[in-house]
Amino acid sequence: MVILNVERKKEKGKEGHLGKYEFGETIGEGNFGKVKLAKDIHTGKLFAVKILDKNKPIHLNNTDRIKREITTMKVLKHPNVVRLYEVLASKTKIYMVLEYVTGGELFEKIRSKGKLTEGSGRKIFQQLIDGVSYCHNKGVFHRDLKLENVLVDAKGNIKITDFNLSALPQNFREDGLLHTTCGSPNYVAPEIIANRGYDGATSDTWSCGVILYVILIGYLPFDDRNLAVLYHKIFKGEVHIPKWLSPGAQNMIKRILDPNPRTRLTMAMIKEDEWFKEGYIQSNPEDGEEDIHSDDEVLPIKAVQHEAIKGSPRSSTLINAFQLIGMSSSLDLSGFFEKEDASERKIRFTSNHSSKDLIERFEGIVIEMGFRVQKKNGMLKVTQENKTQNSNQPLSGSRGI
């Protein structure tokens, strides 16, 4: 879950309170706001409250994303999906009262303890498929499935969270496909990168396959610091599957991480697979037949909500790489995927800091890491005498870009 630090302010005349909720520590932070632990003062039950602050810089189409997330989550009632209980609003903030999941991100579990046993990994995967297929049946396509957006409760069961990038039936175009390029690079399906339209269910399935690979093997199937090289690997779909995995697990990963969406396994096909069905106990939805109909059916807080998320006149609009790609329906990325020359590998980025400040920071960091720094003609050259390097890269976070 991606989340941000803002100063604590008094709400309704009492610091650390909002209605019946008493706020505790901040348990998450990122670019949309923050998440605080909260307690119902009447029942003592704990919740996670996602706080969105209108005074912070907002991303492109952030208002629509918030509406969509609330609209989506209010009808999702499944044991493997984080529950949204209610939405409150003040003049400056929106508060989404969510189910509190005690175990943290699946990402942190894998990073700290390593890969799971095949039996444990299969159980996690079964719950993931149950939760994602339930969302699809409700007309919700997550579009940012990754280890960081899968939480683990005290009993070891998983909860899917962060529907900020989710798509609804009305987001499909006349061709029946989605066209917004979004997600997290290591988990994104090849058809999304191709930017020619994609099926939300099929692309979510690919992301589930990446998650299965990581929990069983311990590292990402597609990884590179250079985005163009990473996307080339995803397009080719050539993934190394260790022979020590059971034939059933190998076959499952291979057929889900199929770069051709037409021949990739569907959710229904996954559930019929013999490896998947071993020890399978289906999770039962907790709702009735309510479905999602309109983005406008948010919750009865519309007027206050609009005020809470309206951007400040001084707020800058930030556009991420995937949004920029998505602005051009004809953009072809194939030109990026020439043969890679490691000596020419470059990483480009933007920053609000001055070049002098950035160079000083880089120089300090690399010196601490034991490298040598040489400055010439405004360029930095970093060298290290000992060139031995471990080829097994540790699992690193994959935040949306």
Contact 187, 207 (CB under 8 A): yes
SS3 (DSSP) at 167:
strand
Q: What contacts 86, CB < 8 A, 6 or more positions away?
A: 97, 299
Is 332 one of the annotated active-site residues of the chain? no
Helix, strand, coil shares of the chain, percent, nearest 5, are 35, 15, 50
Neighbours of 16 (CB within 10 A): 14
Residue 179, judged by CB atoms within 10 A of its CB (0-12, 13-18, 19+), counts as middle
Contact 253, 213 (CB under 8 A): yes
Name the token pair of 73: 């989550």
Catalytic residue among 53, 144, 162, 224: 144
**CA quadruple 229, 231, 232, 236: dihedral sign:** positive
CA distances from 187 to 30, 207, 231, 331, 397 (A): 20, 5, 10, 21, 11
Name the token pair of 14: 């009492």
List of E strands, 252-323: none
Is 50 marked within a binding site? yes
- In eight-state DSSP terms, residue 391 is S
Rounded to 5°, the CA angle 173-179-180 comes to 125
**CA quadruple 90, 93, 99, 101: dihedral sign:** negative
Query: Which are the catalytic amino acids?
Result: 144
Q: Which residues fall in the annotated binding site? A: 50
The annotation places the binding site for ATP at 50
